[in-house]
Amino acid sequence: MTQEKRHVIVVGGGAAGMAAAIAAARSGCRVSLYEKNEKLGKKLFITGKGRCNITNACDTEDLFRAVVSNAKFLYSSFYGFTNQDMMALLEDAGLRLKTERGNRVFPASDKSSDVISTLERILKKEGVSIHLNSRVEGLWVEEGICRGILLEGRGTERYHGAGAESGTMDSGQSRYAGCRREAADSVIVATGGLSYPSTGSTGDGYRWAEELGHKITDLSPALVPFEAAEALEVKALQGLSLKNVEAAVYAGGKELYREFGEMLFTHFGVSGPILLSASSYGAKAIKKQPLRLVIDLKPALTAEQLDERILRDFGEAVNKQFKNALNHLYPAKMIPVIIARSGIHPDKKVNEITKEERRRLAEVTKGLEFTLTALRSFKEAIITQGGISVKQINPSTMESKQTAGLYFAGEVLDLDAVTGGYNLQIAWSTGWCAGTGTASRE
């Protein structure tokens, strides 16, 4: 007699949910995937500016270095399903990939939709039953065991609330009264975080986990631009992109972050790759106090080398006014800001500028300061920092230590990384780990 297949329900058809569904199906489970949107991978579609930076082709050890929160927790999942495994999964299904600067992996077509359709093809091939337009209302938990999910709508089997058995509040459970139950041997929650809620990630997983007694760590937008106090200056600099600069962010005297690369001024503050990454390291601190951003516009030069360079430029413009002698040193939009910060009169003749004034000019150039007052909102954030505490999750299977049969994967967990394909790799690896974890459950 053939044994009936174990039934796994995956909630959320994003990156983590799709990886989990494929892994569970390949491990021999019958898999049902529930997605509230009309299609799978709505967030995946907008990743990498529509090109989808699928992963980073670095050494596995370097993956850990890119993780901002709880890197150690990812040990089993990163090694269990590596960046190379993800690339192989897609390539074996016919998707051509390419690796760009910084080991960033993209589909050769530059179309995120090709990543989604490849994953859909694999899901179909593995026999996963996909339920679109199917919002999951809650989890069906009894006696500390997850029995399935709760769906909107009428059904013969009504849910009346598990109440104290699952350790949840009665008031919380009453919301689920009348929901239809769908049974499963295991449930994987991959509902994402709070960022870009228009793509479907509205924090449902956090609510369910909390109701079941999981701790949710402080949630904050991350990989998100900063607002700056110097409103007039940043407005004047709006649209200016600076390449090859070094930015450092401080909370009081403590350096939180330092990186070399590209940044951008916006109408409200600062953004661009190095500032987005900085937000992941400053997200907690900025809730307590404004942060100090220090930009070195000439990081390749020492203060002395910069002075020599300034002297050389001034030597070629001896009879010019200060304001007209700076265009080799700074982008045009930056010149009024530099002049104002240097305290040197703009009309002063270059040959009248003192050594002390030159020193101040060099100081401003290597230490252009702004006050960062806040992060922009979840609507503009690439990811959510914080989530379900990983202390209550088994890192080898992604199963909850609170509720048997309940698994979590992806951004819903307290895991995040810098830009470069690492956040998707977290989703793929934890999704895969949960999918295989359900199959290995006793």
Ligand X SMILES: Cc1cc2nc3c(=O)[nH]c(=O)nc-3n(C[C@H](O)[C@H](O)[C@H](O)COP(=O)(O)OP(=O)(O)OC[C@H]3O[C@@H](n4cnc5c(N)ncnc54)[C@H](O)[C@@H]3O)c2cc1C
Contact residues for ligand X, defined by CB under 6 A:
11-17, 34-37, 42-44, 46-48, 52-53, 135-136, 190-192, 195-196, 199-201, 204, 382-383, 410-411, 421-424, 427
The CB-of-53 to ligand X minimum distance in angstroms stands at 3
The CB-of-370 to ligand X minimum distance in angstroms stands at 24
Q: What is residue 33's three-state secondary structure?
A: strand
The CB-of-195 to ligand X minimum distance in angstroms stands at 5
Whole-angstrom distance, CA of residue 360 vs CA of residue 369? 13
Closest CA to 188 of 378, 369, 433: 433
Closest CA to 265 of 301, 302, 238: 238
| Closest to ligand X by CB, 68 or 368 | 68
The CB-of-94 to ligand X minimum distance in angstroms stands at 21
Neighbours of 12 (CB within 10 A): 31
The CB-of-323 to ligand X minimum distance in angstroms stands at 40
Whole-angstrom distance, CA of residue 398 vs CA of residue 429? 10
| Closest to ligand X by CB, 107 or 200 | 200
The CB-of-75 to ligand X minimum distance in angstroms stands at 19
| Closest to ligand X by CB, 334 or 383 | 383
Helix, strand and coil in the chain, % to nearest 5: 40, 25, 35
CB 134 within 8 A of CB 34: yes
The CB-of-237 to ligand X minimum distance in angstroms stands at 24
| Closest to ligand X by CB, 322 or 428 | 428
Strands 186-189 and 406-408: parallel
| Closest to ligand X by CB, 53 or 118 | 53
Q: Which amino acid is at 117?
A: S
DSSP symbol at 158: B
Residue listed under structure tokens 């019958």: 30
| Closest to ligand X by CB, 34 or 281 | 34
| Closest to ligand X by CB, 234 or 424 | 424
The CB-of-151 to ligand X minimum distance in angstroms stands at 9
Phi-psi region of 387 (alpha: psi -120 to 50; beta: other; left: phi over 0): left
Radius of gyration of the CA atoms of the chain, in A: 26
The CB-of-353 to ligand X minimum distance in angstroms stands at 46
| Closest to ligand X by CB, 14 or 225 | 14
Q: What is residue 239's three-state secondary structure?
A: coil
| Closest to ligand X by CB, 102 or 144 | 102
Measured CA to CA in angstroms, residue 395 lies from 6, 32, 60, 261, 349 at distances of 22, 23, 17, 34, 66
Whole-angstrom distance, CA of residue 59 vs CA of residue 10? 30
Whole-angstrom distance, CA of residue 132 vs CA of residue 12? 10
CB 408 within 8 A of CB 63: no
